[in-house]
Amino acid sequence: MKHCNHIIRFIVVFIFIGIGFFAVRSYLVPDSFGIYGSYSYGFHRGDSDAEQASIPALYQESESCKECHEAVYRTWSNGGHAGVTCEACHGPWQAHNENTLDTVVKDTSVEGCMVCHVTLQARPAGFPQIDDFASHVKEQGEEVQQDMDCTFCHEPHEPK
């Protein structure tokens, strides 16, 4: 029994480490995590649901534009761009909603259309693609004029 002290000391140190662990843990783990003790939420912090829900939505889908832009909405939904959401071209609704009209994107540039329509090997063969502006215009039997862009011939909401 000569060496009994070593073991007792070891156990005491161990108990203090254990108490320290739970003390630090209770301080660091957020209150709603797992709903403490019962873990009814599993490995999840309950408060994060409310936090996420309170972040204003950046994008709101094309339906949200219908109320105020009825005519454009009707044109668009019957046209060849019906599969492209308003916000894909005009930027997130939230920018508009904050009442800063200059943040609503209205990009009529050739580049703006070519992002989606330039010929790429990776695009499905049936997707409408053009090689470049000048040769496309020539194919239509027209001359490229100054200030001409895609919207000269195509209405963006009903491109055909």
Cα four-point dihedral sign 53, 58, 61, 67? positive
Spatial separation of the C-alpha atoms in residues 128 and 149, rounded to whole Å: 17
Number of residue whose CB is nearest ligand HEC: 80
The binder of ligand HEC chosen from 32, 46, 72, 103 (CB under 6 A): 72
Report the candidate in 64, 81, 91, 61 with the shortest Cα–Cα distance to residue 156: 81
By CB under 6 A, tell whether 9 contacts ligand HEC.
no
Spatial separation of the C-alpha atoms in residues 133 and 113, rounded to whole Å: 10
> By CB under 6 A, what part of segment 82-141 binds ligand HEC?
83-84, 86-90, 93, 96, 101, 104, 106-108, 110, 112-117, 127-128, 130, 133, 136-137, 140
By C-beta, is 23 or 58 nearer to ligand HEC? 58
Alpha-carbon distances, residue 78 vs 5, 81, 158 (angstroms): 87, 8, 7
Spatial separation of the C-alpha atoms in residues 98 and 95, rounded to whole Å: 6
Nearest approach, Cβ of residue 60 and ligand HEC (Å): 6
Please give the distance of CA 101 from its chain centroid, rounded to a whole number.
21
The tokens for 80 are 């060849």
Nearest approach, Cβ of residue 122 and ligand HEC (Å): 14
What string marks each residue from 50 to 69 as x (binds ligand HEC by CB under 6 A) or -?
A: ----------x-x-xx-xxx
Would you say how long the chain is, in residues? 160
By C-beta, is 34 or 159 nearer to ligand HEC? 159
Q: Using CB under 6 A as the criterion, which residues of the chain lie in contact with ligand HEC when the complex forms?
A: 60, 62, 64-65, 67-69, 72-73, 76, 80-81, 83-84, 86-90, 93, 96, 101, 104, 106-108, 110, 112-117, 127-128, 130, 133, 136-137, 140, 142, 148, 150-154, 156-157, 159-160
